[in-house]
Structure 1
Amino acid sequence: MRINKFITQAGVCSRRQADQLIKEGRVLINNQKASLGDQVAESDQVKVSGKIIKPVSQKIYLAYHKPVGVICTTDLSKKDNIIERVQVRERVFPVGRLDVESSGLILLTNDGDWANKLMHPKFEHQKEYLVTVDKALAAEYLEKLKRGVRLAEGLAKADQIKKIGEKDFLITIHQGWNRQIRRMAEKAGFNVVALKRVRIGKFKLGSLRPDEWKYLEIITKS
């Protein structure tokens, strides 16, 4: 088994995040620094950041309503980290990110393969956000977001967009670039003052209150 897959099956993080840990030299196989692509046998000892890890036997899935100010990190030394807010016995990690100034739905799990399928761009899972901006929404602003605006990563545009108030709209995207909606808004001529994620794929925020979480029942193919 590849080392990054082993790390995900231990519930540490996604494969992409595992690769980053390996690059940073924080992963050891039998007390030797791991390299990308290394293979791991059942008898090998694997450490991440000095802690021995093993594949988890029970996979869990959580939905959490992240308040503004909570940081999506597994680093327990960081104040207001998401792991301390979600009090479960198992080791879990956030699926993707939601910046500290934003609120709303984020999923957590110890199932790295499931997390990878949710995050990988090729699967194009949609994410829906409720956005409040700093000025009245003229039709031209929303039209810019529909047509798309050019960011450093490429053309960013809304899959769907709907005005629901003088300064409020719902927007659906499938890309997952850093602070994407805030940057799109700036390109279109306004600033975001509040951003809440209300849906990831088929998972909805629903009636979860800020700082509340719940277990999800997920059926995965073995």
Structure 2
Amino acid sequence: MQDDSISLNKFISDTGYCSRREADELIRQGRVILNNELAQLGNRYTPGDIVEVDGSYLSNGKPKKEKKVYLAFNKPAGITCTTDTNIAGNIITYINYPKRIFPIGRLDKDSEGLIFLTNDGDIVNKILRASNEHEKEYIVRVNKSITPYFLEKMSKGVPILDTVTLPCKISKLGNHTFKIVLKQGLNRQIRRMCEYFEFEVESLKRVRIMNIALDKIALGKWRYLSDVEIAQIESMVKDSSKTALKPIKKAKPVEAKNAKKAKLDIPKEAFELPSKSKKPKQSSFKEYRKNKKR
């Protein structure tokens, strides 16, 4: 069994009450009480012990609650969002924070930008459970000129990973650069969406999560979230613990496969998912191909 005790004089010193040498002198003078008995030189303190000095409690026997930590980190490309410190370039070793923390969600190794880290498991669960509700904003650069067609199709949903992405906000910033706001977090989602339209992502930066913007956090640096920011996040996800994740509607496998063969020149109807109230139309894509040949 692991011994988590420390010398009593060190415990007293660690509280800031006095130095170790002064703590020893207090013990000699009979001014220190350990678990309702006069302390002796050489005594050890174990979490949960009661310690009094001159009638004042330095420890009342109740375990101290760990202070919650909330960080906003500007992750560089090449850093992996994992708590496994055996993996080279892991985010935990890179930040080297003195307390145990873990990332909320993930950001691809090849991507950079904003990610939260915390030791608050409750808020992690709430944010991840509310993942289909909160916004995440990205700036993306691709290898080809952005067209209105690309923007329109990206915004309405793209068939990837046996599903269709949720509608999203997207706007052109430059010839090869666009801003996109998602409300979900599929694996390498933006890269897969772009690949579907035969675009390659050259750089991807997350600049906002919910109410927190990257702002002036330098690359590779972090800052603490303010009490106001944390309160706003708590307010946004306060009902998430009572709400299960909504299942993602899946695209028809045949339609998604045929859509790829059609070189993307496909009407919106070909990707519509079946309605719960109506029977799905049979072979909508086949009818389109048939009519196109006429």
**Paired letter, 1:190:** F
Asked whether the equivalents of residues 157 and 168 of structure 2 are also in contact (C-alpha less than 8 Å), the reply is: no
Q: Deviations over 1:71-108 (max 9, x none)?
A: 10111111111111223221000000001100000000
Q: What TM-score results when the alignment is normalised by the length of structure 1?
A: 0.71
Q: Which amino acid aligns with 1:162?
A: S
1:82 aligned onto 2:86: no
CA distance 1:71–1:170, change in 2 (3 Å): same
Return the alpha-carbon distance in structure 2 between the equivalents of residues 175 and 138 of structure 1.
24
Check conservation: 2:92, 2:102, Cα contact below 8 A: yes
Residues 59-138 of structure 1 mapped to structure 2, 5 A cutoff: 59-121=68-130, 124-138=133-147
Equivalences for residues 23-62 of structure 1 within 5 A: 57-62=66-71
Question: 1:154, CA displacement in angstroms?
Answer: 1.7
What is the CA distance between 1:155 and its match in structure 2? 1.3
Task: Give distance in 1, aligned partners of 2:71 and 2:189.
Answer: 24
User: Which whole-Å CA distance do the structure 1 matches of 2:104 and 2:148 have between them?
Assistant: 34
Pairing 1:151–2:163 present: no
More displaced, 123-132 or 58-67?
123-132
1:167 alignment partner in structure 2: 176
Higher helix residue share: 2
CA positional deviation for 1:62: 0.1
Greater length-normalized contact order (CA 8 Å, ≥ 6 residues apart)? 1
Structure 2: distance between partners of 1:55 and 1:96: 28
Counterpart secondary structure, 1:210: coil
Look up the match of 1:177.
186
Aligned residues: 169
Match of 2:198 among 164, 169, 189: 189
What secondary structure sits across from 1:125 in the alignment?
Answer: coil
Equivalent-residue separation in structure 2 for 1:132 and 1:155 (angstroms): 22
Higher share of residues assigned strand? 1
Alpha carbons 1:145, 1:157 under 8 Å: kept: no
What's the CA shift string for 1:135-193, capped at 9, x where partnerless? 00011111110121111252114421110000000000011110000001111231111
Residue pair 1:121, 1:176 contacting (<8 A) in 2 also: no
Task: Mark the structure with the bigger radius of gyration.
Answer: 2
Provide the secondary structure at the position in 2 that maps to 1:195. Answer: strand
Name the SS of the counterpart of 1:85 in structure 2: helix
Aligned equivalents of 1:193, 1:179: Cα separation in 2:
13
Alignment check: 8 A CA contact 1:63 1:107 kept: yes
Identity %: 44
Per the alignment, residue 19 of structure 1 pairs with none
Matched, 1:206 2:215: yes
Residue pair 2:131, 2:185 contacting (<8 A) in 1 also: no
Query: What is the SS of the residue equivalent to 1:208?
Result: coil
For 1:207 and 1:99, locate their aligned partners in 2 and report how far apart those are by CA, in whole Å: 21
Q: What CA distance in whole angstroms lies between the structure 2 residues aligned with 1:94 and 1:214?
A: 14
Query: In 1, Cα distance between the equivalents of 2:139 and 2:131?
Result: 24
Distance in 1 (alpha carbons) for counterparts of 2:112 and 2:92? 16
**Match in the other structure for 1:216:** 225
Unpaired runs of 5+ residues, structure 2, are 1-62, 239-294
Contact 1:117/1:123, CA 8 A, preserved across alignment: no
- Give the secondary-structure state (helix, strand or coil) at the position aligned to 1:135: coil
Q: How far off is 1:56 after superposition?
A: 5.5
CA distance in 1, matches of 2:131, 2:143: 33
